Amino acid sequence: MLENNEAKTAPLSEQALLRLRNDILKSALTPGLQLKLDILKAHYGFSSSPLREALNRLVAEGLVVMEDRRGFFVAPISITDINEITRLRCLLEPEALSDSILNGDDAWEANIIAAHYRLERLESRLTGSSPYISDIEWATLHQEFHDALIAACKFEKLLQMSTTLFYQAQRYWHTWANAHPNPINRGSNHDKLRDAVLDRDAVRASEILINHISQTTNIVVKHLKQI
């Protein structure tokens, strides 16, 4: 994810992608919403070309769908979809994590420690009643921590698929968080996950990761069944 100063100097299509993706992930652009170019141009200030490129990339990420003769829409959400995303994450992310543990060096370990520290310090300062995921900075640091864990994986396609699935899951977390002021997600498995990875225990780290992913999905599914 680009930092703010990097985003401002990125190509227009990349800037449009970042802003659209962020608004989809936090449900500012709601599931099923038609993404009309004239409205997007007026709201975001980009021309048609970078917006079309961004929308096509979001289609590839599974966050937007394109319907013949109707245009682009924010991808719908469903229990079936989040369960499929979760199943794929539980298959692919432990593979990426295990390969990262196998290949990671001292710099990789240091980056994990730093990413976890930044996330932990922010959590200690968040004293409001909203879930962590509602905080934009937390969401960014959370992704950076998970990215750091698998950064040493040598399989580029596996990393790309893991990132895409992470984005798709993140949208569901925001859907839940927007409807629930009770911060029941406090006290995650991040400490245990960090320790297992730094111990180079791929089996234990994978088990913790799968449990971490599954617990979050169970919370989301419970919410979806109520709406």
Helix 156-179 / helix 79-103 crossing angle, nearest 10 deg: 130
Mean pLDDT (whole number) for 170-179: 86
C-alpha dihedral (4, 48, 26, 146), degrees to nearest 10: -60
Helices (H), 10-155: 12-25, 37-44, 48-60, 79-103, 106-125, 136-149
Return the structure tokens found at 131: 């879930």
Taking only the tens place, the pLDDT of each residue in 124-148 is 887 665 556 667 788 889 999 999 9
d(CA 144, CA 175): 21
Mean pLDDT (whole number) for 151-172: 95
pTM check: above 0.75: yes
Taking only the tens place, the pLDDT of each residue in 197-218 is 999 999 999 999 999 999 999 9
Q: What is the DSSP annotation of 132-189?
A: GGGSHHHHHHHHHHHHHHTTT---HHHHHHHHHHHHHHHHHHHHHHHH--S-TT-S-S
Query: How many CB atoms sit inside 10 A of residue 206's CB?
Result: 20
Query: By C-alpha distance, which of 24, 120, 119, 109 is closest to 73?
Result: 24
pLDDT of residue 62: 94
d(CA 27, CA 173): 10
Q: Which domains does the chain have, with CATH numbers?
A: 4-74 (1.10.10.10), 79-224 (1.20.120.530)
Taking only the tens place, the pLDDT of each residue in 24-52 is 998 899 999 999 999 999 999 999 999 99
d(CA 11, CA 78): 33
Beta pairing class for 71-74 and 64-67? antiparallel
